[in-house]
Chains A and B, each alone.
Chain A
Amino acid sequence: MSAFSAIDDEEQEIDQNDFTPGIEPQATWCPGCGDFAVLKALKGAMPELGRTPDEVLLVTGIGCSGKLNSYFECYGYHSLHGRSLPVARAAKLANPGLEVIAAGGDGDGYGIGGNHFMHTARENHDMAYIVFNNEIFGLTKGQTSPTSPKGHKSKTQPHGSAKDPVRPLTLALSSGASYIARAAAVNPRQAKNILIEAIEHDGFAHVDFLTQCPTWNKDAKQYIPYTDIQDSDEYDFDTSDRREAADVMYEAETKIHEGEVLTGRFYQETGRPSYGQEKRAIGEAPDQPLAERYFDEDAEWERAVDDIAAHHT
């Protein structure tokens, strides 16, 4: 019997309101903030995924985006600025049954946590990673972020940013993510479906979620007009083809600064084992979830003395 009976509990009825915390039912984001759309899409995804609050571990970074944890009912870990991924991936290794989701801002994920982003994608951990991309540092009041367009003026870049912005989709692709999509707050239905797919995907799924920040980023307050690349004849490409995906990503990451927003699935690699599966296959992780062992009263624990007698005498 599992010590974690919430996991894969088929019996429970699931309603998306189960994911609204009784303690903070109302988010305190600014009116019109794109972050609301992520929250709504995530709540909407849960009943369709068949997940209950007690089997989801949501790990966030720090930022307006990181507050997601306060407004989404589940096991939450509001970690450090940029560090959601290391917490999340270890939790998934410790208990693969958990539905582990990581989330944070563009500064959080592409700046201070950029190294973890690259490596978590490369390792292909089985989890969804949602980046609230508002092209700005929201919580610290509007400084230039890694995705702010070149020339973007802020209090810390008074003459406009001299830097080219990060290309997050391309970065995810070259790092090794196996599912890459872009959603936008202005298209909630697509966003929900993308989150469902990302969470269901067996590997590292990166969702760059465009979330306008009307308070600090007046340049990009709407993300319209948007084009769903799956619906557009102009972008007829095979999402499982790396090269084709790279081309369309390039288009999307260029056009966003020219006023056109491309959303949808950019890359979907199927059949690739997740990191956990790889580790188990080579014998570097146990077949049974590690976390279960501590609750198993019949578990046999190896004794160091046997090793010492065999190898140190």
Chain B
Amino acid sequence: MRSGLHIYTHRHYPSRIRGGHTYVEVRAGDEPVRSRGNGFDFLLCLGDSFGRSETEGAFYGNEELKPLTEQFDELNEGGVIVYDSGQFDEADIARTELAERAEENDWHVYPVDLRSIAREHGRAIMRNTAGVGVTAALIGQDLSGFEELLKESMSGEMMEANLNVLQDAYERAQEFDMSHDITLPEGSHEEQHAMLTGSDGIAYGALDSGCRFISGYPMTPWTDVFSIMSQKLPKYGGISEQVEDEIAAATLALGASHAGVKAMSGSAGGGFALMSEALGLAEMTETPIVYIEAMRAGPSTGMPTKTEQGDLEHVLYSSQGDSCRIVFAPANVREMYEQTRLAFELAYDYHLPALVVYDQKLEGELRSVPVSFFDREPDPDLGATLTEEELRDAAHDASGKFKRFQHYPDGEREGVNPRSIPGQKGGRFLATGNESSPTGHISEDTVNRKRQMERRMGKLESVSAELDEREASNQATYGDDDAAYGILTWGSTQDTAFEAVDTLDDAGHSVKAMGVSDLMPFPDREVTEFLESVSECLVVEMNASGQFRGLVQRELGQFGPKLSSLLKFNGEPYRSEEVVAVFEESIDGGQPDAQNVKYVPATGD
């Protein structure tokens, strides 16, 4: 990024404390990078994943070789492999048939004793720095950027040793007889860029919304947002609470919001299950709140560190009674920042819970974004809230109780009664999870019940209208407006689908794509227009039952015969070539032969 390139990364790691094959994919380009891409060109293999564990009887197989062997299928033709010959046994390497495969695929293999280089200047653990030095030399990148990074993150002897390792490794590699043809593209940024994960996007969006309270309980992949917020909030004058469980987490956030603070909580799917009662309480008491839901492969504990989009119905419908909430599914760092801000704005303007749902893929994927993108004013506005002065003129019951839940509020937004905050003079009222009268007292009167339900549910219609009127839609579209075919997707899969559109375009197909973020209220008009304009549409998502396709049909009540499904639920995000392949094989009635994915044809074909 510092050398002017655009970056994208994706983390792979198993749900284990020690060992297991862990790796990061990094993709860099001179143009903005949108996805993990297809395969890779350069493999730096440190091979330490399970170096110190017993191999005999190991349940997970030979872990030591995994960093090498597990990547063979994804390494592109003409690719480069650098492995630490100080770490691997030559006999083991021979067993992987590396030489044969390299021959077959025109791979260029560079065994380098990274361990010895590291030891020479410092400790063996600095092998990774040596690996970076070798990589830099092989792709023609000078060291200045790496040196800068080391200097920023280390000091003293440790920094010196690492700098020496880097330099030495670089110099040695420059002497190699290089046979490969892979170099880093040249790039330049006109302005300063920042590298952020999706979790950062949510956290900064929340902070810029004036959120100063978070309560949570750790659960992957939500933990990142929770820990970023916990580290930032003291500096921002806020409060973070790690509490006994997600029931408490969700409920504390309501207490803080009720007392006049912009507040949030969240969890992964499992913890969110415990939060559903509080979610309903927020809907009923009209307490503004933002909840974050981070998806991982389910059901139950599932695969804690693997991605999936299987919680769509969970976030839309969990908790008893009719849902009255906003749900956004942003697709990338920028959208995460913006839609988190929007979630706060709408939650506090309309007094309902606003949810942001994302997944393990977005949680940790780093992307570069111009710093100027974030150069905006914070929005600490409490939304529909009265000051004491305004309260004096507000409607009160004869006994002096503030009418917090009037049937026909006279506020700015339909159905929304601006609220008072405890401690304000003349603002006392009762908030209850029971159905209630205008002063908040419990009421089971049928007329009151019907009106209060209509009023609360009506707020969602107002939100829908407001979103529709906004200039910037949360739905992203890509490709030629007049394209004959469509790809429809949601959340984190969006940018990969967009990349597939480019590939398909180049191959002469006429296709466009839409990534939906508004799950509730659903963008009926936009999606209808999109689907009407194409003859067939492939709905791409990461779950096994086609929840999003189901939502589209439920909300729009039509298009069944146009919609086929592409599903992936093996724990890994899509590669764009998977979308491309299924699209090409399936259009016009073909039945694709998909390996890692599942294709479901349109109904009624």
Residues of B with C-beta under 8 A to A302: 207, 235-237, 378
Residues A86 and B388 in contact, CB atoms below 8 Å apart? no
| B255 contacts A86, C-beta separation under 8 Å | yes
Check A294–B424 contact: CB distance below 8 A: no
Q: How far is the CB of A31 from chain B (nearest CB, A)?
A: 21
Decide yes or no whether B529 CB sits under 8 A from chain A: no
Docked-complex contact A76 and B430, CB < 8 angstroms: yes
A-chain residues with CB within 8 Å of residue B245 when the two chains form the complex: 115
- Tell me if B163 counts as interface (CB < 8 A to partner A): no
With known contacts A53-B428, A70-B442, A119–B243 Cβ distance under 8 A: yes
The CA-CA distance from A313 to B373 in the complex, in Å, is 13
Residues of B within 8 A of A307 (CB): 204, 207, 232
The answer on a CB contact under 8 Å between B241 and A93 is yes
CB contacts (< 8 Å) of A283 on chain B: these are 234
Chain A neighbourhood of B421, CB < 8 A: 3-4, 291
Contact string against A for B residues 228-257, beta-carbon threshold 8 Å, 1 for contact and 0 otherwise: 000011111111110111011001111110
B200 contacts across to A, CB distance below 8 A:
308, 312
- A309 to B1 Cα, complex, angstroms: 14
A7 to B1, CA, bound (A): 52
Q: Give the interface centre of B377, B378, B387 by most chain A CB atoms within 10 Å.
A: B378
Q: Which of B89-97, B131-139, B188-196 contacts A (4 or more CB under 8 A)?
A: B188-196
> How far in angstroms is the closest Cβ of chain A from B232?
7
Listed stretches A20-28, A156-164, A208-216, A227-235; interface member: A20-28
Q: Which one, A83, A95, A285, contacts B260 given CB within 8 A?
A: A95
A303 neighbours in B (Cβ, 8 Å): 208, 377-378
Inter-subunit contact A89/B255 (CB<8 Å) = yes
Cβ contacts under 8 Å, B425 to chain A: 4-6, 9, 54
User: Is B525 located at the chain interface by the 8 A CB criterion?
Assistant: no
Complex interface residues of chain B between 359 and 401 (CB less than 8 A to chain A): 371, 374-378, 380, 382, 385, 387-388, 397-401
Q: Which of A86, A87, A301 contacts B380 (CB 8 A)?
A: A301
CA of A62 to CA of B280, assembled, Å: 15
Residues in chain A near residue B235, CB distance under 8 A: 302
Contact at B204–A308, with CB atoms within 8 Å?
A: yes
* Interchain CA distance A48-B427 in the complex, whole Å: 23
Is A116 in contact with chain B by the CB < 8 A criterion?
yes
Residue interface bits A271-313, CB-to-B below 8 A is 1, else 0: 0000000010001111000110111000101111101110011
Complex contacts, A284 vs chain B, CB 8 Å: 233-234, 239-240
- Cβ–Cβ contact A304 & B204, under 8 A: yes
Please give, as numbers and ranges, the residues of chain A lying within 8 Å of B434 by CB-CB distance: 78
Does A74 lie at the interface of the complex (its beta carbon under 8 Å from any beta carbon of B)?
yes
Interface string of A68-112 (1 = CB under 8 A from B): 011001111111100100111111111101100000000000000
Contact call A91/B240, Cβ cutoff below 8 A:
no
Q: Does B429 have its Cβ within 8 Å of any Cβ on chain A?
A: yes
Known: A119-B244, A308-B371. A74 touches B428 (CB 8 A): yes
List residues of chain B with CB within 8 A of the CB of A199.
Answer: none
Q: Which residues of A contact B192 (CB under 8 A)?
A: 309, 313
What secondary structure prevails in chain B residues at the interface with A?
loop
> Would you call B489 an interface residue if the criterion is a C-beta within 8 Å of the partner chain's C-beta atoms?
no
Contact B251–A83 (Cβ < 8 Å):
yes
Residues of chain B within 8 A of A286, CB atoms compared: 237-239
Q: CB-nearest residue of chain B relative to A60?
A: B432
What B residues does A290 contact at CB under 8 A? 212-213, 237-239, 256, 261
- Residue B37 interfacial (CB < 8 Å): no
Counting CB contacts under 8 A, is B423 at the interface?
yes
Complex Cα distance, B393 from A218, in Å, reads 51
A-side interface size class: 35 or more
Q: Nearest chain A CB to B144's CB is how many angstroms away? A: 15
| Residues on A with beta carbons closer than 8 Å to the beta carbon of B377 | 303
For window 1-58 of A, CB contacts with B under 8 Å fall at 3-7, 9, 21-24, 53-55, 57
Contact of B252 among A3, A5, A87, A98 (CB under 8 A): A87
B284-315 contact mask (Cβ, 8 Å, vs A): 1 or 0? 01000000000000000000000000000000
**Quick one: which of B1, B262, B397 contacts A294, CB cutoff 8 A?**
B262
CB distance from B267 to the nearest CB of A (A): 14
CB of B259 within 8 Å of the partner chain: yes
CB–CB B432/A293 < 8 A: no
Is B327 an interface position by the 8 A CB rule? no
Residues of B within 8 A of A136 (CB): none
B277 at the interface (CB under 8 A from A): yes
* In the bound complex, CA of A91 to CA of B421 (Å): 11
Closest A residue to B260 using CB positions: A291
Contact A299 B380 (CB under 8 A): yes
Q: Mark A136-147, 1 if CB is under 8 A from B, else 0.
A: 000000000000
Give the shortest distance, in Å, between A2 (CB) and chain B (any CB).
8
Whole-angstrom distance between the Cβ of B14 and the nearest chain A Cβ: 27
**Interface flag for A196 (CB, 8 Å):** no
Q: Which residues of B contact A173 (CB under 8 A)?
A: none
Q: Is the CB of A305 within 8 A of B423?
A: no
CB-CB under 8 A from B441, the residues of chain A are: 21, 23-24, 70
* Other-chain contact of B388, A3, A93, A94, A304 (Cβ < 8 Å): A3
Does B39 count as interface, using CB distance less than 8 angstroms? no
Q: Does A59 contact B (CB under 8 A)?
A: yes
B423 touches A6 (CB 8 A): yes
Asked whether B248 lies within 8 Å of A291 as measured between CB atoms, the reply is no
For B212, the closest partner residue in chain A by CB is A290
Query: Which residues of B have CB within 8 Å of A91?
Result: 255-256, 258-259, 422
Nearest CB of chain B from residue A280's CB, rounded to whole Å: 10
Q: List 18 A-B contacts (CB under 8 A).
A: A3-B387, A5-B425, A22-B400, A59-B255, A69-B432, A76-B431, A78-B442, A83-B247, A83-B277, A90-B241, A90-B254, A116-B248, A286-B237, A290-B239, A291-B421, A303-B208, A309-B371, A312-B194
> Which B residues contact A (CB, under 8 angstroms)?
1-2, 192-196, 200, 204-205, 207-208, 210, 212-213, 215, 232-241, 243-245, 247-248, 251-256, 258-263, 277-278, 281, 285, 371, 374-378, 380, 382, 385, 387-388, 397-401, 421-434, 437, 439-442
Nearest 10 interchain pairs by C-beta: A22-B399, A90-B255, A4-B423, A78-B432, A94-B259, A86-B251, A87-B255, A291-B260, A312-B194, A304-B204
